[in-house]
Structure 1
C-alpha cells in the first residue's frame, strides 16, 4: 500500500524525531500526545531539532517551514482514523502499549498498519491485543531518529505476507536502511549491544579494571566510538536495566541478568545523562600509584623482541634480576609467574591495536612491578590499562562474547551476516560489524579466546558457537556468503 498519511503517538525526543523523519520525506504526519502540556513539549522538540539542522546548514529555512507545516499536532487519537500507518513511541511499558493498540485498532481504518517503536518488548504481545495482528509490526528507529540510518523492521509469526516488505520499502523511502528480523527480545542491536554493556558493568563491579581504564580499552584499543559506561549513560541506565530484564525473561541466560551495580544505580536515581549522573558525572577518584624511578626489565613471550628493542632505544636496560618481567600474552600469566625465583616482578602485558597495552597484575605481583610496567608502556607510546590477571583481560573479555553472540544469531538463521553487520554499524556507529570484526581478528584466535573464557568462568554462552568451531576446524578464515 502507499503510505502518505502517518500518525505518531508519543512526541518525546524519540517520537518527535520519528515525526520529523516522516515529514522530511514528504509525508503528512499527525502527532498525538496525551495533553496540551506534552504536546507543547513535542512541538518544542520538533522546532529545536529542525532549527539545529538549519544552523548546521543541513536544511534551508524555507525547507524547515515546509517540514513543520506537514506535521499536525493533536491530543485526540480519533484524528488518526484516516492514517495509513501509525507508529507508537510511548514509554517501554507493555501494558501501556497494549492498551494503546487496543484503542488504535478501534480508531484506525482496517487496512492501516500499526507499528511499535519498542526496542525490546514483544511485538507479538502487542499485536495479539488487536483484531488485526497480521498488520502489526515493529518499526524500531534509533536515537536521534533524523540522523541514525538504521530501522529494525520486526515481524511476528502472524504478520501478513508483504507487510514487512511494504514497511521496509517505506524505510528506504525515508533514507533509512531496513533490517528485517523476527520477534526476539532485543531484536539485533540491543540483543548484541546490551549484554556487552552489562558485562562491562560486571567487570567494573568485580574489580577487574577501573571505569576509565575500561573506557580507554574499548575506545583506544577496540576502536569503538564510545566506551561502555559513556554509552550506558547516554542510553539511560533505567532503559538499559529494563532491556536486560526483558532479555533475561526470554533467555534465562545468566549474562542477561542485570549487573547488581546497574540495579543499584537505577534504584538510587542515577540514570546517566538524563539525571546528570550515572557511571560518569563525578570526577574519577585519583589513584596515587607508585612511580618507578629506575627500571630494569626483561620481556618474554611472542613479540618480545620488538618491545625490548624500543625500550633499549629509550635507554632502559635489561637485567638478570629485573625490576619487572613483562610477559607478552593474551591469557593469564600467573602460571608463568610461579616459575620465577621472584614471582612478584611478573606482569602480563597484552598489546591491543596500536595504542593500548593491558597491564595485568597476578595475585603475586607487587605494586612496584605494576608501576614499572605501566611506565614502560607509556615509553613505547601505549596507553596502559591496568587490570587483573583474568582470561581475556578487558578487551577480549568484552569483545569475544559479543562476537560469539553474533555468530549464534547468524547460525540460527535469525539474521544474515550482512544484516547483523549493517545493524551494528548503522545502529551503534561501530567501524565494522561483528562478523567483519571477527574475520579481521582471526576466526581461530577468537575461537581459542572463547575457549579460555569458558575454561575460567564455565559460562555456557562463552563456549564457541558450533559454526565458529566448525569453520576453524575446516581451516577457513572467513564466513561463507551467498
Structure 2
C-alpha cells in the first residue's frame, strides 16, 4: 500500500502543520477548508511556517518553493476523490467528525485510508460510522507538527493489519517516530499527561500551594520542561477540560473529573495563550518579598546536616531556643510540631532535586516562622515553595500518581515500557520517561510515597499498582523488560 497523494481536511494550526510535514517528505497534498476565508488563513499558516524554516536554516528558499508547490488548496471535498489517504484535523467535536467521515467515505475511492488526528475521541466510533471501518485509523500528530517527532498511531478492533503497517511506515517516511496503541481515551501521552495537569489544578483549588510554587516545584525540583500551569496555558484550558471529560466518561474515575477551577476558568473564557489570559497573563501588582530578622535556627530529621552546614557558613547560628526549627519530615509535619513546646516555630522541609525546598506549614506554624524559613532557604541556595502539610507536599503528590498511572498502563498490556518512556520523552519533552524516572528514584520510594497519598486521600488511583507492590516485595528495583 503506497501513499503518494494525501488529503488534509482542516487547515488550522495543526492541519496546516501536518500538510507541511507531508509536503516536505515529497508527497502531494490536497488541503481542504470549509470556505475561502479559512482557506486563505491556512495558506498564511503554511507560508509563515515554511518561511520560519528558511530563516532557521532548515529549508533553502528553493526547497520552500518546492514544498509549497506540492500543496494544492481547495474548498471542495470532492477534490479528495483520488487521495490515497485523508487526514482529518478539525476541532475535537464528535458531532462534527462523524458526518465528516461519512462524507469522506462517500467521496474517496474505496481503497483510500481515512485517518483522524483526534487527541482523545474514540477512533472506533468514527470508524463504525463508515462503510470501511477496517481502513480507518487514528494518526495523532503533536503540536507543532513540523517540529514534534512523535506520532501516535491508533488501531481499533476493525483496523486491517496491512493498513496499520502502511500508516506506521508512512510516519517513519515523514521523519516521525510512531508509537502504536489501542483506542482508549487519551491514547498514551494525554492519558498520562492530562490527569497530572488536572491534579495540579486540584491542588491549587484546594489551597495546597500557589500557582507559581507548583510550577517551580515541578520545573526546578522534578526537572519538567514546564510547570503544569504553563503547560495548561500552552495547550489551552478548553482542550484540557474536554480531554478530561472524555477520560472521565470512559473511566468514571473521580480523579479524571475536571477540576472545578478548570471548569470555572473555561466558562469565564480564560483559555490560556489563545485568549491572552489563563493561569498566567493577568498583570498583577508586584509584591516585595517579606523579610525576616531570624538569627538562630535548629534542624531535625534525616538529611538535615547539609542544610545546617550551609546556613552556619552563611553566618547563622544553631540554638536550643531558635527563631525557627527546620524539620526534614518523614511523616505529617504536624505530628512533629505537636510534640514540641515551641510548636509555632516548626516548618517542614522537603528538598526536591537539590534546587527546591518545599516548606510545609501546619495549623500551628506562625507566619513569621514560615517567612524566616523561606529566607533561610534562599541563603542556602534553594528556591522555597510554601505549601500546606499534606501527604507528598507538592512535587511527590503530583509526580507519584503520574508514575503509578504509567505502571498500570503497562501492566494492562496497553503499551510497552519502551513505548511509554519514548512517547513521554518525545511527546512532552521530558528528560526521562516514567519508568526511567522510577528506577532512578527507587521503586520502594515511589511505592511508599503512593501509600502515604492513599492513606490521606483514600483515592483508588493513589494505591500503588499491584505490579509495583509485587516488584518491591520481591526486592527488585527495575521493571521487567523483554
Matched, 1:27 2:27: yes
Q: CA deviation at 1:343?
A: 0.9
Partner residue of 2:85? 85
- Per-residue CA deviations over 1:11-42 (Å, capped at 9, x if unaligned) read 00000000000000000000000011000000
Partner residue of 2:244? 244
Partner residue of 1:357? 357
**2-side partners of 1:284 and 1:351: how far apart?**
29
Q: CA deviation at 1:468?
A: 0.5
SS of 1:401 mapped into structure 2 = helix
Partner residue of 1:119? 119
- Per-residue CA deviations over 1:407-447 (Å, capped at 9, x if unaligned) read 00000010000110111100011111111111111100000
Matches within 5 A, 1:71-470: 71-284=71-284, 286=286, 290-329=290-329, 331-470=331-470
**2-side partners of 1:54 and 1:366: how far apart?**
58
**1-side partners of 2:158 and 2:138: how far apart?**
13
Q: CA deviation at 1:283?
A: 3.2
**2-side partners of 1:353 and 1:285: how far apart?**
30
**1-side partners of 2:294 and 2:8: how far apart?**
66
**2-side partners of 1:187 and 1:418: how far apart?**
16
TM normalised by structure 1 equals 0.99
Change (3 A) 1:66 1:190: same
Q: CA deviation at 1:188?
A: 0.5
**2-side partners of 1:324 and 1:84: how far apart?**
70
Paired residues of 1:331 and 1:392 also in contact (CA < 8 A)? no
Paired residues of 1:290 and 1:368 also in contact (CA < 8 A)? no
**1-side partners of 2:401 and 2:204: how far apart?**
17
Q: CA deviation at 1:294?
A: 2.8
Change (3 A) 1:283 1:217: farther
Paired residues of 2:135 and 2:163 also in contact (CA < 8 A)? yes
Say which is worse superposed, 294-303 or 255-264, in terms of deviation: 294-303
User: How many residues of Structure 1 are paired with residues of Structure 2 in the alignment?
Assistant: 482
SS of 1:145 mapped into structure 2 = coil
Q: CA deviation at 1:372?
A: 1.1
Q: CA deviation at 1:311?
A: 1.0
- Per-residue CA deviations over 1:70-128 (Å, capped at 9, x if unaligned) read 00100010011111100000000001100000000011111111000000000000000
- Per-residue CA deviations over 1:235-260 (Å, capped at 9, x if unaligned) read 01111100000000000011111111
SS of 2:161 mapped into structure 1 = coil
**2-side partners of 1:88 and 1:300: how far apart?**
59
Q: Which runs of 5+ in 1 are unaligned?
A: none
**1-side partners of 2:398 and 2:357: how far apart?**
16
SS of 1:359 mapped into structure 2 = strand
Q: CA deviation at 1:329?
A: 2.5
- Per-residue CA deviations over 1:37-87 (Å, capped at 9, x if unaligned) read 000000000000000010111110000000000001000100111111000
**2-side partners of 1:432 and 1:479: how far apart?**
15
**1-side partners of 2:235 and 2:285: how far apart?**
24
**2-side partners of 1:376 and 1:221: how far apart?**
18
**1-side partners of 2:164 and 2:422: how far apart?**
18
- CA RMSD after TM alignment: 1.0
SS of 2:3 mapped into structure 1 = coil
Say which is worse superposed, 275-284 or 436-445, in terms of deviation: 275-284
Q: CA deviation at 1:289?
A: 5.7
**2-side partners of 1:330 and 1:148: how far apart?**
40
- Per-residue CA deviations over 1:432-471 (Å, capped at 9, x if unaligned) read 1111111111100000000000000000000000011101
**2-side partners of 1:145 and 1:37: how far apart?**
23
Q: CA deviation at 1:330?
A: 5.2
Paired residues of 2:294 and 2:324 also in contact (CA < 8 A)? no
Change (3 A) 1:411 1:14: same
